[in-house]
Amino acid sequence: MHGRPDRISSAESELRFTGISASAGYAHGPLFRFEAPSAKYVTSASPAIETETLKAAIAKATERLAELVASAAGEAADMLEFQLAMLADDSLSNPALAAIEQGAAADEAWSDALANEIAGYEASEDDYFRARAADLKDIRQQVLDALTSSDSVSAPPGAILTGSDIAPTRFLATDWTQGGGIALSAGSSASHVAMLARSRGVPMVVGLGPLPDQDGIALLDAEHGTLLLGAAGDSVELFQSSAEAFIGRRRKAQDYLRKPAVTASGTPVRVQVNIADPADVDSIDIATCDGVGLMRTEFLFGKPGGLPDEDTQYRAYRKVLEWADGKPVTIRTVDAGGDKPVPGFTVDEGNPFLGLRGIRLSLARPDIFRIQIRALLRAAARGNLKVMFPMIAVPEEYERATALFAEEARALTAAGIAHKQPPLGIMVEVPSAAIAPELFAKAAFFSIGSNDLTQYVMAAARDNAAVAALNSVTNPAVLRLIEAVATFGREHSIPVSLCGDAGGNPASIPYLLKAGLRDLSVVPAQLALAKAAIAEAEA
Ligand code: PEP
Ligand code: MG
C-alpha cells in the first residue's frame, strides 16, 4: 500500500487529496465510480449445472479478452496475453470447481477461489506483485460479469474514473479521446494500467487514500499528484493556468524533438532513451535520440512461459541494435529482485530492496546468467552494443561478471559462433559505488541509476507515497554524490551518464547539468520535454 495521503480542506466545500503521479497531465470532468456491484447471480443449486455454467462463463470471458487482444498492441497486448494465460490455467479454476462439487454456487466458488489468490498477491510488500493482483481482480470480475450476463457501464466521455484500483481491461475499454483521467485511492505507479496510461497520455494519480462518495466535477492535477473536489474560485483558476502551462510546455517541446540537445549556453548534451520491450523502439525515430542509454531486460524474464532461452534473448537484443543503426545501445544484464521479482528466479526475502537482486542474483545463478551473456556476446556482433551490470556494490562483482564474459567468449570462439566483446560498464546506484568510484575504475563506463541511488541515500522507498517528499534526487546529499561521480569520470576519462527517471524530469535537469552530467537517458515520452528543459538551462 502507498502511505496515507494528506487530506487538506482548504475551503468549506473544497477537498484536496494528495497521492503519487503515475502519468502526468491534467483533467477535469465528472467523477465516475467504476466499482458498481454486478447484477445478482441466481444459482441452479445443481453441481453439474453450476460446473458447466462456470466453465461457460470462463470461456465467454476468454472470448472477450481475445477480442481485446486483437485490437491491442505492445504492452497492452502483453498484459492481455498474461490475463488469457492466467484464465487458461487450471490451477486457478480447479479450487472453484472443487467447491462447486461440495455444493457451492458458481459465483461464490469463483469469487472465493480468486479471493485467496488475490489476498496472497496483495499482502506482498512488493509493488510488482501488488500490481499483478489488479490483473487477477480483473479476471475475477470478467468471469462474474459473464456469469450474470452483465456488461460494465461505460464512463461518460471526459470523466475522471475513481475507485481503489482500476482493471486493465476497463482502461482499454474506455474511450479516452475526449480527455478524462484516473484517480485511485490505492493503485500503483508500477501497474499495467499505469504503464498504459503513460504511453497513451492519460493523466493518472494513485495512492490518494479514501475518497468520499460524492458526485460532481473533479480537478485532477496528475503533474503534481492531486485531486480537488468541490473546487471554486482561485483554485479553479490556478488549476486552469497550470493545465494550460503544461499543455504549452508539451507543445513547445515538440520543436526540440528533432534537434540535438544544447543548453542555453551552447553546451551539447547527449539524450538517449530508456526502453524495455524491443517493441518500444517501433514508435521512436532513431533520429530523435542519441541511442539507448538503458535497455531493461527484466521484461524478457517475467513472461508466463518461464525464463527466456538464448535465441529469444539474442533476437530481442539484435532487433534494438539494428534499429539503432550504429548508435550506441546499452543493455543492462537482468536486474531481477527488489521491485522486479521474477518467478522461478528471484527468492522470497524479508527486505527485497536490500537482498539478492541485480548482479548479486545473476552471480548466484551462473546457469541463468551465462545464457544471457552468450546472447549478448552474439548480439554485440550486430551493432554498437555496450553492456552494464546493475546494483554493483563491490569491485569483485564487476570482476566476476567480466570473467564470465571472457569465458563465454572463449567458448563461442571454440564453437566457431560469431560474437564480439562489448564494453562492460556498471550502474552506479548503490551508495558504496557512488562514494568510492575509484574502486571501479576498470569499468568501461558508469551509468548513474538515480532511482535506486536516491532511495538508498535517503532511506525512502521509490514506490511509497508516504515518503515521496524524502525521495528527492535534488536533495544536496544525492546531488553531491552525482557530482562526485561525474567529476571522477571526467578526470579519469570514464564516460558517465544517468539513466534514472530524474534524467527526463524537467524540474531536475538543471540540477543534473549543474552537477556536471552531459549524458542523460530518458523515457521516450519525456524526450522532447527533456530536450526543451536542457535548452533553457545555463550549463
Ligand atoms: C535506477 O535505479 O535509477 C534505474 C535506472 O534502474 P531501475 O529503475 O530499473 O531500478
Ligand atoms: Mg535501479
Calculate the alpha carbon distances from 56 to 45, 106, 143, 200, 257 in Å: 16, 11, 9, 34, 51
Atom of ligand 1 nearest to the CA of 448: 3
How many residues are recorded in the chain?
A: 539
Single pTM value for the model: 0.75
Q: How many CA atoms does the CB half-sphere of 168 hold within 13 Å?
A: 29
Determine contact, residues 13/230, Cβ cutoff 8 Å: yes
All cell numbers assigned to 305: 512461459
* CATH value at residue 182: 3.50.30.10
Cα of 124 to ligand 2 centre, how many Å? 20
- Is 42 a member of any domain? no
- State the total domains in the chain: 3
Which residue type, as a one-letter code, is found at position 138? D
Q: Please check whether residue 230 lies inside any domain of the structure.
A: yes
508 grid coordinates? 531536475
Closest CA relative to residue 517, chosen from 526, 528, 257, 488: 488
pLDDT range class, residue 1, cuts 50, 70, 90: very low
Give me the mean pLDDT over the 354-383 stretch.
97
Give the residue numbers marked as catalytic.
Answer: 192, 499
Which residue in the block uniquely carries the three cell numbers 556498471? 426
Same domain, 197 and 125: no
Helix and strand numbers, DSSP H then E, in the chain? 18, 17
Do 456 and 530 belong together in one domain?
A: yes
> Distance from the CA of 442 to the center of ligand 2, in angstroms?
21
Lowest mean pLDDT of 444-448, 484-488, 503-507, name the range. Answer: 503-507
Distance CA 18, CA 41 (A): 38
Protein residue with its CA nearest to atom 9 in ligand 1 = 296
Residue 292 near residue 329 (C-beta atoms within 8 A): yes
Is 18 contained in some domain?
yes
Strands (E), 416-455: 424-428, 446-448
pLDDT value for 141: 83
Please report the pLDDT score of residue 2 as a whole number: 36
Q: Cα separation of 296 and 342, whole Å?
A: 13
Mean pLDDT of 91-96: 89
Q: What is the mean pLDDT of residues 326-345?
A: 90
Task: Tell me if 286 sits within 8 A of 321, measured CB to CB.
Answer: no
> Domain check: are 385 and 525 in the same one?
yes
How far is residue 70's CA from residue 185's CA, in Å, rounded to a whole number? Answer: 31
Q: Does one domain contain both 381 and 428?
A: yes
pLDDT at 3 over 60: no
- Ligand 1 atom, smallest distance to 499 CA: 5
User: 256 lies in a domain?
Assistant: no
Q: What is the pLDDT of residues 257-309, one digit of tens each?
A: 999 999 999 999 999 999 988 988 998 999 999 999 999 998 888 776 789 99
For residues 132 and 278, state if they share a domain.
Answer: no
Rg (CA), the chain: 24
Query: Rounded to whole angstroms, what are the CA distances from 286 to 200, 263, 322?
Result: 20, 21, 11
Say yes or no: 339 and 421 in one domain: yes
Compute, in angstroms, the gap from residue 275 CA to the centroid of ligand 1: 12
Grid cell digits, residue 264: 542555453
Residue 5 has what DSSP assignment?
P
Place of cell 522486479: 340
Rounded distance from Cα 500 to ligand 1 centre (Å)? 5
Q: How far apart are CA 94 and CA 182, in angstroms?
A: 35
3-state secondary structure of 61: helix
CATH of the domain at 59: 1.10.274.10
Query: Per-residue pLDDT tens for 35-67?
Result: 766 667 888 889 999 899 999 889 888 888 887
Strand order in the sheet with 181-184: 7-11, 14-18, 226-229, 217-221, 26-33, 160-163, 181-184, 204-206, 20-23
Per-residue confidence at 174, pLDDT binned at 50, 70, 90?
confident
Between the alpha carbon of residue 126 and those of residues 117, 122, 351, the distances in Å are 15, 9, 9
Whether 32 and 211 have beta carbons less than 8 Å apart is answered as no
Given a contact cutoff of 8 angstroms between Cβ atoms, the answer to whether 128 and 194 are in contact is: no
Residue 143 sits in the same domain as residue 161: no
Q: Is residue 311 located within the same domain as residue 327?
A: yes
The answer to whether residue 9 scores a pLDDT higher than 50 is no
385 and 514 assigned to the same domain = yes
What are the pocket residues of ligand 1 if the criterion is a CB atom closer than 6 Å to any ligand atom? 294, 296, 335, 429, 449-452, 499-500
Strands (E), 394-437: 424-428
* Mean pLDDT of the residues in the chain: 89
Over pLDDT 90: what percentage of the chain?
62
Q: Kindly state whether residues 119 and 180 are assigned to the same domain.
A: no
**Which ligand is located closest to the Cα atom of residue 294?**
1
Is the model more confident about 348 or about 399?
399
Ligand located closest to 298 CA: 1
The verdict on 174 and 137 lying in the same domain is no
Q: Which of 251, 276, 297 is the last residue of a domain?
A: 251
Q: Which protein residue's CA is at the shortest distance from atom 4 of ligand 1? A: 449
Q: Choose one of 128, 451, 517, 522 to mutate for the ligand 1 pocket test, by most ligand atoms within 8 angstroms of C-beta.
A: 451
Q: Which of 195, 273, 335 to mutate to test the pocket of ligand 1 (most atoms within 8 A of CB)?
A: 335
Residue at which a domain ends, from 251, 284, 300: 251
Q: Which residue has the cell 526543451?
A: 532
Report which residue type is found at 299: F
Do 377 and 300 share a structural domain?
Answer: yes
DSSP 3-state of 325: coil
CATH code where residue 379 lies: 3.20.20.60
Alpha-carbon distance of 110 to 148, in angstroms, equals 13
Among 86-90, 127-131, 186-190, name the one with the lowest average pLDDT.
127-131
Residue 41 maps to a domain? no
Last residue of a domain, one of 251, 271, 286: 251
Cα 191 to ligand 2 centre (Å): 17
257 falls within a domain: no
Of the candidates 216, 126, 204, the residue with the CA atom closest to the CA atom of residue 165: 204
Domain of residue 103 covers: 47-148
